[in-house]
Amino acid sequence: MQKRKRIPDKARYRRTTQRAYQFLAELGICSFPVDPVEIIKRFPNWHLCGWLELKNATGKEDPLNIDREGAEAKTEVVRGGSDFLIVYDERIGYDKRIRWTIAHEIGHIVLGHLIDFDKTALNRGGLTENEYKVLEAEAHYFACELLSPKTIIRRFRHLMGDANGIAALCNISYDAAVIRIKELTRLDFDYYEPENAILRNFFSCLEQHGLYSVIAGRLSSETVDIPEELDDYIECDYWHFVVMTVVTWEKCTELKDALGTSMALYDDENMVILVRGENDRSAIEHKGDVILKCLDKYASSPVKKITVQVADLKD
């Protein structure tokens, strides 16, 4: 039997942020607003139910003691520990508040609050005041990072002091957005490995909001005749993110024009970059090591070999 842990004395904010980013990356979430209800639907052993709905279904006067404890939601482990039942009070009647409350409960599940500790029941009667505050603080911070991940919101520089703008972008309350702005000014705890993964996923969203330059002449499957020998290759949907890392993060600006209009296809460890002309092909082949470094470091890509071809454009 796995030994359960003791509830920590202080909230583990670094761990909470890292786990939220991992969770976003694993789910492949790539745009705002993040929908906690849709997230729950992706887990067959997670169940969401309104308090009034559960009350009517069970005939119980106060399911999970939500009324008695003044809670907006609670999560319970059911079916011998294999399932989670999230019950929220739909009487709140405020969509953004309900979304936040559900995200908070997801945090309790993802952070292991219900199964990692000897005291697994999240209620004031089973926990000391400090234990309760620690777990609530972690779940609250998880909800912040799930609905408005700091590493992405920081890219929206024009919104850094605009609570209304952040609230609209993330579909969170004005008060939650004000808190998020205060947190954006704090230094990060450390580098988070999953940051690159969620930035890669959100990169198209950031481009659509004008935060990175979009080149009109980019090659795509709509403008290029893909050679038959590449029929089994997959178009690299995070290629524009990799190009940004090459030019901006690795400061290899001489590749900006050559890569800016390119497209990439890959098959496991092999990648083919299609370009517009011989000059672009030569420039990329000369700096192929930089591209491989960025694929590995920022995109966790399996690609080990790059070849470059001049594309045949469609008429």
Structure-token match 């887990």, residue found: 43
| Single residue among 166, 194, 222 that ends a domain in this structure | 194
| pLDDT at residue 200, rounded to an integer | 94
Please indicate, yes or no, whether residues 221 and 258 belong to a single structural domain of this protein: yes
Within a domain: 179? yes
DSSP letters spanning the chain: -PPPBPPPSS--HHHHHHHHHHHHHHHT--SSSP-HHHHHHT-TTEEEEEHHHHHHHH--SSGGGHHHHT-SEEEEEEGGGTEEEEEE-GGG--HHHHHHHHHHHHHHHHTTTTTSBS----STTTS-HHHHHHHHHHHHHHHHHHHS-HHHHTT-GGGTT-HHHHHHHHT--HHHHHHHHHHHTSPPSS--THHHHHHHHHHHHHHHTTSS---TT---TTTEE--GGGTT-EE-TTHHHHHHIIIIIS--GGGHHHHHT-EEEEETTEEEEEESSHHHHHHHHHTHHHHHHHHHHHH-----EEEEEE-EE--
User: Lowest-confidence range among 27-41, 89-103, 111-125, 171-185?
Assistant: 111-125
In a domain, 96, yes or no: yes
In this prediction, residues 205-212 reach a mean pLDDT of: 91
- The pLDDT tens digits for 14-35 are 899 999 999 999 999 999 999 9
Segment 273-288 mean pLDDT: 95
Average pLDDT (256-266) is: 94
Cα-trace Rg, the chain: 24
- The dihedral built from the CA positions of residue 157, 159, 161 and 166, taken in this order, carries a sign that is negative
Average pLDDT over residues 196-221: 88
Q: Whole-number mean pLDDT of the chain? A: 90
* pLDDT higher than 80, residue 268: yes
**Quick one: 227 and 187 in the same domain?**
no
Given 194, 227, 261, the domain boundary residue is 194
Indicate whether 139 and 39 sit together in one domain. yes
Owning domain of residue 177:
13-194
Residue 193 pLDDT exceeds 90: no
Q: Quick one: 26 and 169 in the same domain? A: yes
Q: The domain spanning residue 308 has which CATH number?
A: 3.30.300
> Do 167 and 263 fall into the same domain?
no
Residues 170 and 219 grouped into a single domain = no
**Is pLDDT above 50 for 183?**
yes
pLDDT of 214-231, one tens digit each?
A: 777 889 888 999 999 999
Q: Of the given ranges (21-35, 132-146, 177-191, 239-253), which has the lowest mean pLDDT?
A: 177-191
Please check whether residues 74 and 221 belong to one and the same domain.
no
Query: Does one domain contain both 237 and 149?
Result: no
Task: Please state the domain count of the chain.
Answer: 2
Q: Which of 194, 223, 254 is the last residue in one of the domains?
A: 194
Query: Are 158 and 217 found together in one domain?
Result: no
**Residues 258, 291 within the same domain:** yes
Residue 55 located in a structural domain = yes
Q: Is residue 3 part of a domain?
A: no
Instruction: Let me know: does 147 contact 172? Beta carbons within 8 Å.
Output: yes
Overall average pLDDT of the 176-196 stretch: 78
Q: How confident is the model at residue 190 (pLDDT cuts 50, 70, 90)?
A: low
Are both 190 and 224 inside the same structural domain?
Answer: no
Indicate whether 122 belongs to any domain.
yes
Q: How far apart are CA 242 and CA 253, in angstroms?
A: 13
Same-domain status, 188 and 247: no
Overall average pLDDT of the 290-311 stretch? 95
**pLDDT for res 24:** 97
- Give the per-residue pLDDT at 124: 53
Q: Does residue 4 lie in a domain region?
A: no
Give residue 189's pLDDT.
55
User: Please, which pLDDT band fits residue 122 given cuts at 50, 70 and 90?
Assistant: low
Q: Is the pLDDT of residue 69 over 50?
A: yes
pLDDT the model gives residue 1: 44
pLDDT average, residue stretch 255-284: 95
